[in-house]
Amino acid sequence: MKTNNVEYTTFSGWVDAPGDVRSPLNQDVTCEVAVVGGGLAGMSTALRLAERGQDVVLLEAEFCGHGSASRNAGQLAGAPGGDIQFLNLLYPKKFPGIVRFAENSAHFVEHLIERLGIDCDYEATGNVCAAVSRGQMGRVRRVTKILQKAGAKVELGTSAELGIPRGFLGGFRESVGGMMNPGKFSLGIRRAVLASSARVFERTRVTDITRGGGHVTIKTSGGEVRANKLVLATNAFGGELSITPKRLSVPIWVTEVETEPIDPARLAALGWTSRSGVVTQHNFMENYRLTPRNTIVFGVRRIQRGKSYPLPLRKPDEAVVADLARGFETRFPALADVAAARAWGGWIGITTSWLPLAGNIDDNVFYSVACNGHGLAQAPYLGSLIADHIVDGGEKHEDLKALWMKKPKFGRPVMMGAPGLRTIWAVDRFNDLINGSRRNARRGAAPVN
Ligand SMILES: Cc1cc2nc3c(=O)[nH]c(=O)nc-3n(C[C@H](O)[C@H](O)[C@H](O)COP(=O)(O)OP(=O)(O)OC[C@H]3O[C@@H](n4cnc5c(N)ncnc54)[C@H](O)[C@@H]3O)c2cc1C
């Protein structure tokens, strides 16, 4: 795969930035509920609060949808993220609730798209967790059993049965969910929030938050917001504000690449008849999906830890794009001559438990992180559940109860430093090498060194 003409962007490959960015806050205001962060979680919270008659202010540092909301791969997952075997082992009581939350999240987003009339090229194809080796196929079988036992709608199959390319051996399909253009989706929610009664201030970075006298004071360079309640929806950026519970989320940089348009006949020859998005069973998954513009978007595989706050506005590293291109060639040897056209990336928030979570600090500050690479479905749903929790005087939906933290205390991240991440990446590549050698040996070719 050629990577010499890649367009590197600091925003997203899916859409352009909106032309109607709202004015920053330039005076002091008061409100019932303030929401900090205009991503999927924050916009969904503000929209729901406004729809339920609350006086709400939304503050966003850039423009709503500027974060991972518009940058993700657009794969709407119907099952939880993270290492399922590990989560089931460590949190056996919580796990069925997390599975139900994940599935309801995907349904919620499908209804939201319909209700708001958002044109985001949504296709209800489901997604396939695919194996690239016999070892991964064993893992797929074990994970399928665990998910089915917890009530998830997943089915096991070979690549032919699942309608995915033959570069994958097989896998399980999450039948709930699908794929979309996430940039169009997030700008669609943005339009709905701007049209609602919520007061939205963009280009308004919150610099500090203090509490006292039963209210919250939110500082920005243009003015202060005094609110009775606050919702923190800052995802990976949470550590920039001292009010955020320590270690709520670990910031990780994730990269996506899009190919040049591919001849439809060549795409048809792949046997990707289901059009389902695909994620592999590596420790750091690879994701692959078709787009309506006859391209393939692919990414992750090599992730990078945010070193310090504030997190920089950045482009992907050329070395990471080259590594992703090597992965693409391995999975799609017939498309090895296709060029990578553009690359972008974003900051995702990983929780140290790898579970989506929500909670409160005292009784007037609420937080949530529903990311772990699966927030396209989960963040909007969780945002809406938190809004209902606030309006309903502390009542919690069953799905919110499943994630609720009694105390805002979070463990230390394990293996998430730069050396740990490099080691995990190297283990994945070593396994790929062994599997490549075995494949070549089976074909009678010389093993790859
Ligand atoms: C490359 C990539 C691929 C991904 N692929 C998928 C996928 O296929 N499927 C999936 O389910 N998930 C995927 N994800 C994850 C998903 O995009 C996120 O989980 C989801 O967008 C999280 O939404 P959010 O609202 O929590 O965060 P964000 O969208 O990141 O929003 C946080 C917002 O807070 C604002 N903010 C932060 N600090 C401040 C401050 N001090 N003042 C004001 N505003 C502030 C930021 O500007 C930002 O707009 C991917 C993510 C990336 C980056």
Q: Are 327 and 279 in contact (CB under 8 A)?
A: no
Q: Using the mean position of ligand 1's atoms as its centre, give its distance from the Cα of residue 70 in Å.
A: 8
* pLDDT at residue number 415: 81
Q: Using the mean position of ligand 1's atoms as its centre, give its distance from the Cα of residue 210 in Å.
A: 24
Query: Which residues of the chain carry a pLDDT beneath 50?
Result: 445-449
Give the contacts of 213 (CB within 8 A, at least 6 positions apart).
none
d(CA 442, CA 118): 49
Domain spans of the chain? 7-401
The answer to whether the peptide bond before residue 356 is cis (omega within 30 degrees of 0) is no
Ligand 1 and 205: CB distance under 6 A: yes
State the pairing for strand pair 286-290/277-280. Answer: antiparallel
CATH class of 7-401: alpha beta
Q: Using the mean position of ligand 1's atoms as its centre, give its distance from the Cα of residue 219 in Å.
A: 22
Ligand 1 and 40: CB distance under 6 A: yes
* pLDDT at residue number 449: 33
* pLDDT at residue number 434: 87
Ligand 1 and 252: CB distance under 6 A: no
* pLDDT at residue number 121: 98
Question: pLDDT digits over 333-357, tens only?
Answer: 999 999 999 999 999 999 999 999 9
Ligand 1 and 62: CB distance under 6 A: yes
Q: Using the mean position of ligand 1's atoms as its centre, give its distance from the Cα of residue 68 in Å.
A: 3
Pocket test for ligand 1, best of 234, 276, 313 (most atoms within 8 A of CB): 234
Q: In the structure encoding, which two tokens stand for residue 308, read together?
A: 């310090």
3-state SS string over the chain?
Answer: CECCCCEECCCCCCCCCCCCCCCCCCCCEEEEEEEECCCHHHHHHHHHHHHCCCCEEEECCCCCCCCHHHHCCCEECCCCCCCHHHHHHHCCCCHHHHHHHHHHHHHHHHHHHHHHCCCCCCECCCEEEEECCHHHHHHHHHHHHHHHHCCCCEEEEEHHHHCCCCCCCEEEEECCCEECCHHHHHHHHHHHHHHCCCEEECCCCEEEEEEECCEEEEEECCEEEEEEEEEECCHHHHHHCCCCCCCCCEEEEEEEEEECCCCHHHHHCCCCCCCCEEEECCCCCEEEEECCCCCEEEEECCCEECCCCCCCCCCCCHHHHHHHHHHHHHHCHHHCCCEEEEEEEEEEEECCCCCCEEEEECCCEEEEECCCCCHHHHHHHHHHHHHHHHHCCCCCCHHHHCCECCCCCCCCCCCCCHHHHHHHHHHHHHHHHHHHHHHHHHCCCCCCC
Q: Using the mean position of ligand 1's atoms as its centre, give its distance from the Cα of residue 380 in Å.
A: 11
Pocket test for ligand 1, best of 12, 376, 386 (most atoms within 8 A of CB): 376
Q: Using the mean position of ligand 1's atoms as its centre, give its distance from the Cα of residue 148 in Å.
A: 29
Question: pLDDT digits over 213-264, tens only?
Answer: 999 999 999 999 999 999 999 999 999 999 999 999 999 999 999 999 999 9
Ligand 1 atom nearest to 345, measured from its CA: 1
pLDDT above 70 covers a percentage of the chain that reads 98
State the pairing for strand pair 178-179/206-212. Answer: unpaired
Q: In the structure encoding, which two tokens stand for residue 74, read together?
A: 């657009």
Ligand 1 and 68: CB distance under 6 A: yes
Ligand 1 and 237: CB distance under 6 A: yes
* pLDDT at residue number 446: 42
* pLDDT at residue number 244: 96
Ligand 1 and 21: CB distance under 6 A: no
| Residue 440 dihedral angles phi and psi, to the nearest 5° | -65, -40
Ligand 1 and 279: CB distance under 6 A: no
Q: Using the mean position of ligand 1's atoms as its centre, give its distance from the Cα of residue 349 in Å.
A: 8
